[in-house]
């Protein structure tokens, strides 16, 4: 297993194995790709309630999906929002993406949960952005926010989960029957 460099990523894209739409050369970095914020986000519709994922068939009604006004996405203090990437990606069956928040944004007090883009995944990527600060932080549509390190797997696998092909923000599935 190896982490792909800038040149190896460009080769994967040129060979049609890794697809990124829309693509811009500036998102390919030294050791990964920087995906940009899309124009939609989701946040809880309420606060102070009990949410038990093991009792839910789906999360409809828990979240409000919002279009970014003037491209701005406010992240309230000590809360999180679900962001989607501007890009739709299609990973080959031998690459995985290890997701990290760009360190510049982390220095403002933001973080993300550990996230992997599975081999064979296709669609917009949904990421939870957590504001650990006491301040509102404004993010903007089109800004690079998610650094994805690409690693070649030993063997091949293809993602077949419910988030395959998602467009926009993918809300969490209910976990009833899994717990």
Residue 52 lies in a domain: no
Q: Per residue in 28-79, pLDDT tens?
A: 999 999 999 999 999 999 989 999 999 999 998 899 999 998 999 999 999 9
30 in active site: no
> How far apart are alpha carbons 50 and 44 in whole angstroms?
12
Enter the pTM of the model.
Answer: 0.93
Range of the domain at 138: 2-46+62-152
Residue given tokens 């962001």 in the structure block? 83
Per-residue model confidence as pLDDT tens digits over 136-157: 999 999 999 999 999 999 999 9
Cis amide leading into 81 (omega within 30): no
User: Is residue 12, in this structure, part of any structural domain at all?
Assistant: yes
Report d(CA 75, CA 168) in Å as an integer: 18
Instruction: Name the DSSP class of 145.
Output: E
What is the count of structural domains for the chain?
1
Q: What pLDDT does 69 receive?
A: 87
Set 128, 151, 154, 178: catalytic member: 128
Assess if residue 159 is contained within a domain. no
For residue 116, what are the CA distances in angstroms to 21, 120, 172? 19, 12, 15
In a domain, 137, yes or no: yes
For 73-113, write each residue's pLDDT tens digit. Answer: 999 999 999 999 999 999 999 999 999 999 999 999 999 99
């Amino acid at each position: 297993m190896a982490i792909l460099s800038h040149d190896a990523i460009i080769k994967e894209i040129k060979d049609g194995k890794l697809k990124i739409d829309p693509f811009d050369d500036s998102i390919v970095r030294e050791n990964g790709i920087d995906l940009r914020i899309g124009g939609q986000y989701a946040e809880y519709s309420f606060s102070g309630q009990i949410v038990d994922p093991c009792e839910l068939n789906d999360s409809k009604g828990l979240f409000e999906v919002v279009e970014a006004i003037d491209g701005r996405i406010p992240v309230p203090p000590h809360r999180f929002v679900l962001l989607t990437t501007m890009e739709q990606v299609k990973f080959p069956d031998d690459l995985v993406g290890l997701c990290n928040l760009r360190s510049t944004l982390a220095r403002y007090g933001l973080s993300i949960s550990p996230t992997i883009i599975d081999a064979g995944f296709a669609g917009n990527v949904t990421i939870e952005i957590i504001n650990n600060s006491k301040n509102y932080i404004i993010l903007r549509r089109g800004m690079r926010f998610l650094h994805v390190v690409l690693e070649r797997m030993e063997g091949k696998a293809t993602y077949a989960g419910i988030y395959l092909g998602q467009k926009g923000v993918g809300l969490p599935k209910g976990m009833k029957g899994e717990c």
